[in-house]
Amino acid sequence: MNSIWTIWLNAHDKPAAERLLGRVSQQIGVEILDAEISPYHKGGYKAKFLVTHDASGWSDIVVECLKIGQRVAREWRLYGDVLDDVNAISNTTSVSGVDMIEWQLHRVE
């Protein structure tokens, strides 16, 4: 199963956004897949990527997302139904230049 991550980057150009994404990738300590960087309509850039989870149970995957998230941010706000469609958002990140980060997890049976 994959979680979907979005980060909002305070970068003036795409190469700077790519460097910030690299720092986030390094800090979360897991491989990121299918990364896409695009300009954000309010300024800066937005990056989306996937993280693959090997855990077999839904609860284990949710906890894994929380653990990964704690490596790059704090004061997470949880939204949705934790049993099948959960997402979390933080704008208190530990990576300079990252304004906000979000992860989403959708249960597929």
Bridge partners for 38 per DSSP? 46
**Tens digits of per-residue pLDDT, 65-74?**
999 999 999 9
CATH number for the domain formed by residue range(s) 2-106: 3.30.70
Question: What pTM was computed for the model?
Answer: 0.94
Q: What is the pLDDT of residue 76?
A: 97
Tokens of 97: 């230049």
**Tens digits of per-residue pLDDT, 80-105?**
999 999 999 999 999 999 999 999 99
Give the C-alpha separation, 109 to 100, whole Å: 30
Q: What is the pLDDT of residue 105?
A: 96
Give yes or no for a contact between 101 and 90, defined as CB atoms under 8 angstroms apart. yes
Give the C-alpha separation, 5 to 49, whole Å: 5
How far apart, in Å, do the first and last CA atoms of the chain sit?
A: 10
Q: What is the pLDDT of residue 55?
A: 86
Contacts of 104 (CB under 8 A, 6+ apart): 3, 4, 5, 6, 86, 87
Give yes or no for a contact between 105 and 61, defined as CB atoms under 8 angstroms apart. yes
**Tens digits of per-residue pLDDT, 27-81?**
999 999 999 999 999 999 999 999 999 888 999 999 999 999 999 999 999 999 9
Mean residue pLDDT of the chain comes to: 95
Q: What is the pLDDT of residue 8?
A: 98
